Amino acid sequence: MAQPQPQRSDWRQTWREAITDPRELLGLLDLDHLAAGLPAADAGFPLRVPRGFAARMRRGDARDPLLLQVLPQLAEQATRPGYATDAVGDGAARAARGVLHKYAGRALLIASGSCAVHCRYCFRRHFPYAEDTAAAGHWQQAVVYVRDHADVHELILSGGDPLSLATSKLAELSAALADIPHLHRLRIHTRLPVVLPERVDGELLAWIGALPWPVAVVLHVNHAAELDTAVADACTRLRDAGALLLNQSVLLRGVNDDVETLAALSERLFACGVLPYYLHQLDRVHGAAHFEVDDPRAEALIEALRACLPGYLLPRLVREEPGKPSKTPLRSVEMPESIR
Ligand SMILES: *Cc1c(COP(=O)(O)O)cnc(C)c1O
Ligand code: SF4
């Protein structure tokens, strides 16, 4: 008897229906008056927001933390010393087509250049994806690289967003890697289950469930309001398929840089079956300086958070520095009166 085909959702259609006109987004949110403040050009990084994500924004609130993550701002045009296009040394770490190998034991694949949402603070907004994704050429260079490097025990699919690829394309990769004995783990860094939970369909779950390695899925959520019931359900489905769920956030001025917001995020993540992993200090990328939270304040926030959450809900505050053997933890400080 034929096996029933796992159910496929029409997530690509939902993807195509994303909002790409900032004026339309502002109109939906009753914020038309902000259109006058939009930058004239998008600096090669246009607005992109799935409609389901926009639906989680509060109408009439120009400071909505989800809106601030995606709306182009005039402030992006300011240049600031120390801000560059390749802020994290990706250019130097390129080991093969679409492969970054910076840290012992794990290699990272730029699996795809596409994302379902465009985050204004993203350190990869200037990365030359189109020429350099691992999926091009049927993954061949990436698979050869992993096979030839016996010290690579974990492969991280990143991007862009690796789940922007068709599941059949991901299956092509996992099939080519399946017989490599030194590969022990697969990790997927993705924002798609958050911004387009339709992506977590039966076909994807069947693929994850059948992989020959333990799988960690690292989501990217910056604010509790991103986690509505559709996302919570997608998280449950991923866990039921056997994935360990972690989250990384970026500390963003005006979005999540206060203790209550960060505590609520950790609590909501746990309710969705996700543990906080990293809280990243912003990468110093051109156009993102207005999101920066300075280190003393970031360190003080984490100390204040430590005082109100169980240790397992406290993310590790880190920064990525070119040439270092790991992400760099920020130091601990005494909690200043201003934060308490
Ligand atoms: C961040 C990163 C990793 C993963 O680091 P972990 O500390 O293991 O999460 C791996 N490779 C590259 C190139 C990275 O930028
Ligand atoms: S790589 Fe991640 S943070 Fe950057 S735009 Fe894509 S989804 Fe957003």
Distance CA 122, CA 57 (A): 20
- Asked if residue 157 and residue 67 are part of one domain, the reply reads no
Q: Which atom of ligand 2 is nearest to the CA of 122?
A: 4
Pairing of strands 328-329, 106-110: unpaired
Could you tell me if residue 221 is inside a domain?
yes
pLDDT attached to residue 26: 98
Whether 82 is covered by a domain: the verdict is no
Give 165-219 as a DSSP string.
S-HHHHHHHHHHHTT-TT--EEEEEESHHHH-GGGS-HHHHHHHHT-SS-EEEEE
pLDDT number for residue 94? 83
Of 138, 173, 141, the C-alpha closest to 157 is: 173
Query: Of 30, 50, 76, which residue sits at a domain end?
Result: 76
Q: Is 298 within the bounds of a domain?
A: yes
My answer on whether 209 and 285 are in the same domain is yes
* Residue 295 shares a structural domain with residue 157: yes
Burial state string for 101-140 with b = 16 or more CB within 10 A and e = fewer than 16: bbeeebbbbbbbbbbbbbbbbbbbbbbebeebbbbbeebe
Flag whether 1 is in a domain.
Answer: no
- Whether residue 40 lies inside any domain: the answer is yes
Domain membership flag for residue 6 = no
Same domain, 192 and 228: yes
Sequence-distant (6+) residues with CB within 8 A of 307 are: 335
Of the candidates 20, 51, 76, which is a domain's last residue? Answer: 76
- Is 64 in a helix, a strand, or coil? coil
Q: Please tell me the distance from the alpha carbon of residue 77 to that of residue 61, in angstroms, as a whole number.
A: 23
Residue 168 lies in a domain: yes
Residues 70 and 102 in one domain: no
pLDDT in 10s for each residue of the chain, 340 residues: 556 677 777 999 999 999 999 999 999 999 999 999 999 887 788 999 999 999 999 999 999 999 999 999 998 888 888 888 776 667 777 888 899 999 999 999 999 989 999 999 996 676 655 557 888 878 999 999 999 999 999 999 998 999 999 999 999 999 999 999 999 999 999 999 999 999 999 999 999 999 999 999 999 999 999 999 999 999 999 999 999 999 999 999 999 999 999 999 999 999 999 999 999 999 988 889 999 999 999 999 999 999 999 999 999 999 999 899 999 999 766 555 666 5
pLDDT for 80 equals 83
CB atoms within 10 A of CB 91: 12
Our answer on whether the CB atom of 192 is closer than 6 Å to any ligand 1 atom is no
Whether 106 and 39 share a structural domain: no
User: 3-state DSSP helix/strand/coil percent for the chain, to nearest 5?
Assistant: 40, 15, 45
DSSP 77-145: G---TT-BSSTT-HHHHEEETTEEEEETTEEEEE--S--SS--TT-TTTT--GGG--TTGGGGHHHHHH
Segments forming the whole domain that contains residue 57:
11-76
246 lines ligand 1 (CB under 6 A): no
CA distance 145 to 152: 9
pTM, full prediction: 0.94
- Pocket lined around ligand 2, Cβ cut-off 6 Å: 115, 117-119, 122, 124, 159-161, 191, 220
Q: How many C-beta atoms surround the C-beta of residue 74 within 10 A?
A: 11
How far is 273 from 217, CA to CA, in rounded Å?
Answer: 12
* Ligand 1 atom at shortest distance from the alpha carbon of 218: 9
Same domain for 116 and 257, yes or no, is yes
Tally of domains within the chain: 2
Same domain? For 67 and 214 the reply is no
The answer as to whether 336 is a domain residue is: no
Atom of ligand 2 nearest to the CA of 118: 5
Report the nearest atom of ligand 1 relative to the CA of 108.
11
Task: State the DSSP code for 250.
Answer: E
Q: Is 103 in the pocket of ligand 1 (CB under 6 A)?
A: yes
CATH number at residue 110: 3.20.20.70
The per-residue pLDDT for 85 is: 77
From the CA of 217, how far away is ligand 1's center (Å)?
13
pLDDT at 2: 58
Could you tell me if 294 and 204 lie in one domain? yes
Q: What is the pLDDT of residue 336?
A: 59
Q: Which ligand is nearest to the CA of 323?
A: 1
Residue 156 beta carbon below 6 angstroms from any ligand 1 atom:
yes
Domain shared by 109 and 215, yes or no: yes
CB-ligand 1 contact for 95 (6 Å cutoff): no
The ligand minimizing its distance to the Cα of 278 is 1
State how far the Cα of 221 lies from the Cα of 319, in Å rounded to an integer.
17
